[in-house]
Amino acid sequence: MFTRSSACYKRAIESIPGGVNSPVRACKAVKSDPIFFERGEGPYLIDVDGNVYIDYVCSWGPLILGHAHPEVTAAIYSVSKKGTSFGAPIWQEVELAELIKSCIPSIEKVRLVNSGTEATMSAIRLARAYTGRKKIIKFEGCYHGHVDSLLVKAGSGLATFGIPASPGIPEELTKHTISLPYNDFEAVKQAFKEYEKEIAAVIVEPVAANMGVIPPKKGFLELLRELTSEHGSLLIFDEVITGFRLGLSGAQGAFGITPDLTCLGKIIGGGLPVGAYGGKAEIMEMVAPEGPVYQAGTLSGNPIAVAAGLATIKELLKPGTYEKLEALAKLLEEGLKEILEELKLPYRVHRVASMLTLFFTDKEVIDFETALSSDTEKFARFWQEMVKRGVYLPPSQFEAWFVSLAHGEEEIEDTLEVVYESLEALEA
Ligand code: HOZ
């Protein structure tokens, strides 16, 4: 069944660390070897052995239109014929910046980079320069890319592999990072009391999606806004996952909170490597060459990534897109809940818009600690059963499943059948 994938993996581990270019996809947490893929079509992925899967990874979020969307591939093809990178401005960068600004009003100026990691790293540097302060508050289980100072009790791959912090990061680089439990109002108030005028910024995933999907408690984001404003610190929303996912104006639009800086990635590149950070003009004007805060990139704003991003956002602007995503994801959520009830399983389904996690725990999941109460051994077996039956889920308990506009009711119904059979097999 995985003959070719196994052969690819055997060859890959000789040349690439762990055989993969990003850790979670190695599938170690689900006790499998990675699957090597050949192509994607709409909601489907096809591996090198010809196995077909309904895909809920969607490249970890960017593919909100599904795989190989005709508008996106046509844009990439047409632009690539005119050159792939100039290391100089093109007018389409301006169009993308204007589009982002028109959708997300807190962004008055925006700089394109090449990944979410670059976006958060640059936003932190800018926040420190703007405030003249050093300390950053982040939340346990939130993941902001592999920025040295933010790899402290982080989510995503670090949660998946149980790595609290990475070797190779000197203590000097993390000593200004304060890591607090997500959704813990008191901890945040206490930190502001203790470090009052030292906190440059609070960086947060407004909906946590790297320890599984965990929504903010009512009032939590409001508290962060209130305290940062009161103490002259900046509020940074890491919307790399939620940006253009929860709606055109992201989580900030959905929750009605205006951050000072926003980090974007994933969807705005339509499946190509892009990130962005932006916010109040007064802050962004400190970025070089307008100001002294240095940040650069040879391939930043390159024509192909920009074309893919523009094509994706233009599709999202069409009427009814988010309503369709909501309806499909709701169908999946409700179906999962019905199955759990029927099989008398106490697991938790968390859904925010078109992102979802099935936590294998009977505890209420509100933060990293409670997310860690999940039975990861059981999740691993569930993942294997799902794959066997043609559904590809993120190979970790601590990642989000993504529904795309290419999914339809038929795929959701098929998925629910597979979930039922997989859970039954697991409990047998
Ligand atoms: N930000 C993604 C996880 N939520 C990255 C996936 C990866 O590490 O490859």
Q: What would the DSSP string read from start to end of 1-14?
A: --HHHHHHHHHHHH
Residues 6+ apart with CB under 8 A from 282: none
Mean pLDDT computed over 285-299: 97
* 417 in Cβ contact with 80 (< 8 Å): no
**Count of positions (residues) in the chain:** 428
Tell how far the Cα of 315 is from the centroid of ligand 1, in angstroms.
24
pTM of the model: 0.97
Q: Which residue in 26, 61, 18 sits closest to 238, CA to CA?
A: 61
- State the pLDDT confidence band at 225, using cuts at 50, 70 and 90: very high
pLDDT per position as a tens digit, 334-344: 999 999 999 99
Q: What is the pLDDT of residue 166?
A: 82
Is the pLDDT confidence value at 159 over 80? no
Active site residue 266: yes
The percent of residues above 70 in pLDDT, for the chain, comes to: 100
pLDDT per position as a tens digit, 208-222: 999 999 999 999 999
Ligand 1 binding pocket includes 238 (Cβ within 6 Å): no
Task: Report d(CA 413, CA 332) in Å as an integer.
Answer: 8
Is the pLDDT confidence value at 169 over 90? no
Looking from the CA of residue 399, the nearest atom of ligand 1 is 4
Tell how far the Cα of 120 is from the centroid of ligand 1, in angstroms.
14
pLDDT per position as a tens digit, 35-66: 999 999 999 999 999 999 999 999 999 999 99
Mean pLDDT computed over 382-394: 98
Ligand 1 binding pocket includes 60 (Cβ within 6 Å): yes
Task: Report d(CA 401, CA 329) in Å as an integer.
Answer: 10
- State the pLDDT confidence band at 150, using cuts at 50, 70 and 90: confident
Q: Got the DSSP string for 14-48?
A: HHSGGGSSSGGGG-GGGTSPPPPEEEEEBTEEEET
**DSSP 3-state of 149:** helix
Q: Which residue in 367, 368, 351, 350 sits closest to 359, CA to CA?
A: 350
Alpha helices per DSSP H over 81-163: 91-103, 116-131, 157-161
Active site residue 153: no
Q: What is the pLDDT of residue 420?
A: 98
Choice between 152 and 82, residue whose per-residue pLDDT is larger: 82
Task: Report d(CA 269, CA 273) in Å as an integer.
Answer: 6
Is the pLDDT confidence value at 161 over 90? no
Tell how far the Cα of 24 is from the centroid of ligand 1, in angstroms.
7
Ligand 1 binding pocket includes 157 (Cβ within 6 Å): yes
| Ligand 1 atom 3: residue of nearest CA | 156
* 301 in Cβ contact with 382 (< 8 Å): no
Active site residue 143: yes
From the number of C-beta atoms within 10 Å of its C-beta (0-12, 13-18, 19+), residue 426 rates as middle
Side chain identity at 371, as an amino acid letter? A
Ligand 1 binding pocket includes 263 (Cβ within 6 Å): no
**DSSP 3-state of 241:** coil
Sketch out the chain's domains with CATH numbers: 3-68+319-427 (3.90.1150.10), 70-316 (3.40.640.10)
Q: What is the pLDDT of residue 117?
A: 97
Task: Report d(CA 69, CA 405) in Å as an integer.
Answer: 10
Looking from the CA of residue 209, the nearest atom of ligand 1 is 4
Of the residues 55, 184, 238, 367, only one is catalytic, namely 238
